[in-house]
Each structure stands twice: as C-alpha cells, then as structure tokens.
Structure 1
Amino acid sequence: MIGARVFCIPTATLERSSSSSIFFFFPKISTRPVSRVSTTVAMSTTSKSQEELDSIFKQKRVVRTTVRKSLKAMNPSLRTQQDDAIQNTVLEAPWFKSCRRLCAYISCKSLNEVDTSRILSKILQHPGTTTTAASMTNVADKKLYVPWVEDKKSNMRMLHISHMDDLIANSMNILEPALVDALGNEREDVLQADEPIDLFILPGLAFDRCGRRLGRGGGYYDTFLKRYEDRAKAKGWSNPLMVALSYSPQILEDGGIPVTPNDVMIDALVTPSGVVPITPPAIERM
C-alpha cells in the first residue's frame, strides 16, 4: 500500500540561520531504515474517536499556522537559492531521469510552494529544443500529468499535458490544465491510463523524516493518492515513488506532524541540502 511504507530516519542536525530567527532542519541522510509498526499513517489500527480526531485536526491547524508564518518570513533571495538547489537535485537525479510517467504539481507562488517551473519545462521539452543528445535523453519521452481540482469536496484529477501552453489560470489564479486540448479532445486522466505512474512529485506544507506529510487542509492529495493506490492494486502495478519537495523551514522534528488514518506517507524528501530517502524502495533507488 502506498500509505503503509513508513520507516524512520535518525534525527537531523538542527541549524539556525544567522540572518533570521527561523530554525532550519537539514537532514542527515541515512542508508539504514529503522522499522516501526505502520498502517496508512503508522498509527494504531484502532479506530479513532471523534474527540481524538478533533484534537488531531486542532493540532494540525496550529502546525499549519506556524509553518505558514515561517514560510512568509523567508528571505526572497534564500527562497530563490533553495528553489534552484531543489530543482537541480531533481533534474540531475537518476530516479528522475529514468522515470517515464509521472504526476507533478504546478507550483503557486502565492502559496509559497517550492518552485517546479524548471522541472515541468524540462519534461515538456520537445525534440529539437534540447542542446545535446544526452540532455534530450534525460528528459524526453516523459508523460506528465498535473492536477485539476474538480470541486470543493477534495476531488482532484491528474490530467495529461504536452506543453506549458496547455495550462490556464483558474478562479484563484492557479495554473491548471484545460479540460480539452487544442483539437477539442478530452485530456487523458491518469486514473484511466493503461500504464502505471513511476513517480509522484508532491507539494505539502510540512514534513518530517519519518515520511509524514501535512497538506493545506483540503485533503485533495490524500484522497487522490488513495484512489490511485486502489487502481494500482487492482491492476497489479508496483507502487510509484512518492517524493515531496520541501524548503528548510517546512521540515519538522520527527513526530511533530499530527496524522489521521487518511493521511498518506511519502517515500522521500528533496530538500535544499539533498535527498532524504525514507522507505526501503527510496533508499534502494536513491
């Protein structure tokens, strides 16, 4: 199961920026996972009472408020440096170069998300636009699916695009794929595709080195990833690699992110200081 692959990396070194009051967590990469009991979110299988869930949701709101303030306080030049470092790491990674079908988010500046514009542009390069045969091999022939929010009930689809021009701004000024292509054909939905996804590049508001991910509260990614998991299981497909991109202030101490049974875990983090593999599949591939 996508959400069941949870292993914990030893506690990271805590560094403090000399130019701000924000604490930055720079993970030390470990090659030896520490196993722990896990279900969808490494919690007890006992059903949570409504009172317990309400308490967890309250804790999540507190963490979201704290992390949002930290992100808002980031120095713009530091943000740019971290964007460049994270995207360079992804673009140069063998696990990215070798993937052929992937889902990735379209970064939104107003949400303070890690920039993905260079990653998407590289994926959508076409023959004749790359400078060398080697660079073309690294990024060509990738099939990309990006999010389209269907409604306000946590329903989201991932639709195939071939060009950056396939994206349009929605009512919140967030880029999404148009539902039909230039020829009027409906875009392929990844949940109807005949081949499995190799890689998910995920956003989030906060993460830890045990694979916990805190979203923005809408539940869109957790809902979608569970649907993809069900389809992959029905088709007998292998699980995709679940990789999240994170600025330094978004990385919290282990156990600092409250979780519910519906929260989906990640396999690895890409941070400004490098890749942090978490699960055995990630350690094996990264």
Structure 2
Amino acid sequence: MSSQKRLLRTQIRKVLSAISSQSIDLQSNLVCQRVLQMPEWKQSKNICLYLNMPKAELRTNTLLSAAFEQGKRVFIPKCLGPHYMEMFELESPNIQLLPKNNWGIPEPAGDTAKVMENGIHCDLIIVPALAFDTAFARLGHGKGFYDAFLRRYSTWCTEKSIQYPLHKVGICLQEQWLSSRVIPIEPTGCFHWHSCRTLLRSFDKPPSVSTSEPKKQASANPKVCPSPN
C-alpha cells in the first residue's frame, strides 16, 4: 500500500510541476464559483479553509474573500508538529503579513480562537489533496495532518455531544483527479467515499493513473497519462 502511494505521489507531482499559472488561475476560479453556490457554503457560519501553496495547488483566495464579505468565521491550518495541526481563526482576509511555513503557505500566529476550543465547532471544511479518485479517496502529501485533525474533531464532537454536522468538501485541479479507484484506503483514513460525498473540480473527464510498479525498462519518473477516452 505504501509503495502504491509513493508511486502515485511521484507521478502526480511530476505532472503538477508542469501546470501553468494561467491554468491554475482559470481552474481555481471555476471551482471556487461552484463552491460558493453550494447550500453547505451558504448555510455555514464557521469554515475551515486551507490557504494554498504558491504553486501546483488550487487557489482559495476567492473563497477567503467571499467568506469575510458574507460575515463567516474563517479558520485556517497551523502545523504544530508531526501529524498535528490546529485550525485557528483568521481575523482579516489580509494574509500577506502572515508568517509562512516550510511549504510557503501563510499560517496564523496561533494566538486567536481555534476550533474545538470553548465549544467552537466547524460547519464546513475545504480540504486540499495531492489527488482524489472516483471513490472519493484522498491522497495527501504523506504527513497525515488532515486525517489526524478529522479524527480528533470527530472524537471531540462525540465527547461534547456536538450535533452540528461537519461537511467535508474536497477541491482539486483537473490533473489531480484520477479516473478510477486507484488510491489505497487505509483503516485510519478519514477522507474517503463514505465520509465525503462532495468533490468539486473544473472539468468532466479525469486523467487516468496506473498504480502498478514500473518495469525495469521503464523511465525512473513515470508519467500520468491522459485518458484515451
């Protein structure tokens, strides 16, 4: 299972490295506009939203601006250790002054309110990924931040008898959407088809990826090939 994931990550990162900024801008706008039309977005008051990496990831600045314009509370991730992150409240849509982590992602200082503190719950979480597949399985970057956070949040809701449902929405670029059930599901994975029914993208036909190990004669950097259909 781990070797399959390593191969997938290698394939997808190679493809993502070649995507133009213009394509990412176009796809980001299309996907974000779809998110803004969702009933889950319109009804939510507390939103957990990722801030995107500088390159090769769907951009969320449109969602960030809209959330503040609509009076929603926005919580963004801060990585605090191996497999551990918290969602801290962002008090302004101006993220230019926030410190950046090792991936170039702006992070909160960690001195504001956070989800699961003083009864603060989340209505909607927008989740990134390295890839998704048709079974709604999620392939992350291998650090386990979102799986661990979602497990803790689920436990907290049970312990506190929190009745508010958490809607999990995955968003991705065309190049991150895989055409079949190719992402291995681990027992600890929280983000798969029976816990997430919503995955938004800007296109209809996904590319396909082979999860078989490359043959000895094959290139050391196998490519993700577009579907012939």
Q: What range describes the TM-score normalised by the shorter chain of this pair?
A: 0.7 to 0.9
1:246 is aligned to 2:158: no
Secondary structure of the structure 1 residue equivalent to 2:184: coil
- Give 1:207's match in structure 2, choosing from 132, 136, 153: 132
- Please, which of 44, 65, 69 is the counterpart of residue 121 of structure 1? 65
Q: Which residue of 2 is the match for residue 155 of structure 1?
A: 84
Distance in 2 (alpha carbons) for counterparts of 1:241 and 1:84? 21
* Amino acid paired to 2:84: N
Name the CA distance, whole Å, in 1 between partners of 2:35 and 2:126.
10
Matches within 5 A, 1:28-177: 56-110=1-55, 112-125=56-69, 139-140=70-71, 142-151=72-81, 153-165=82-94, 168-172=98-102, 173-177=104-108
The Cα RMSD (Å) is: 1.7
* Structure 2 residue corresponding to 1:270, chosen from 167, 178, 200: 200
The letter of the residue matching 1:208 is D
Question: How far, CA to CA, are the matches of 2:51 and 2:143 in structure 1?
Answer: 16
Give the count of matched residue pairs. 197
Instruction: Note closer, same or farther for the CA distance 1:249–1:176 as it changes in structure 2 (3 Å cut).
Output: same
TM-score, normalisation: structure 2: 0.80
Please state which structure has a larger fraction of its residues in helix.
1
Contact residue 24 and residue 57 of structure 2 kept, 8 A: no
SS in 2 for 1:177: coil
Correspondent of 2:154 among 208, 229, 238: 229
Per-residue deviation, 1:171: 4.3
Task: Please say which structure displays the higher CA radius of gyration.
Answer: 1
Q: C-alpha distance in 2, partners of 1:159/1:76?
A: 29
Report 1 or 2 for greater relative contact order, CA contacts < 8 Å, sequence distance ≥ 6: 1
Q: Which 4+ runs in 1 deviate beyond 3 A?
A: none
Matched-pair contact (CA < 8 Å) for 1:244–1:269: yes
Q: Which amino acid aligns with 1:168?
A: L
In 1, are the aligned partners of 2:24 and 2:59 still within 8 Å (CA)? no
Counterparts of 2:105 and 2:135 in 1: how far apart (Å)?
A: 30
Q: Which residue of 2 aligns with 1:197?
A: 122
Q: Secondary structure at the match of 2:98?
A: strand
Displacement of 1:108 after TM fit?
A: 1.1
Correspondences of 1:4-15 after superposition (within 5 Å): none
TM-score (norm 1): 0.65
Cα distance in 2, alignment partners of residues 175 and 258 from structure 1? 30
The code of the aligned residue for 2:14 comes to K
Give 3-state SS (helix, strand or coil) of 1:158's partner: strand
Q: Unaligned regions of 5+ residues in structure 2, if any?
A: 205-229
Distance 1:171 1:102, change over 3 A: closer
Gaps (5+ residues) in structure 1?
1-55, 126-138, 181-186, 275-286
Counterparts in 2 of 1:164 and 1:259: CA distance versus 1, 3 Å: same
Q: CA deviation at 1:100?
A: 0.8
1:258 aligns with 2:191: no
**Contact 2:54–2:105 (Cα < 8 Å) also in 1:** no
What is the one-letter code of the residue matched to 2:76? V
- Compare 71-80 and 93-102 and name the one that shifted more: 71-80
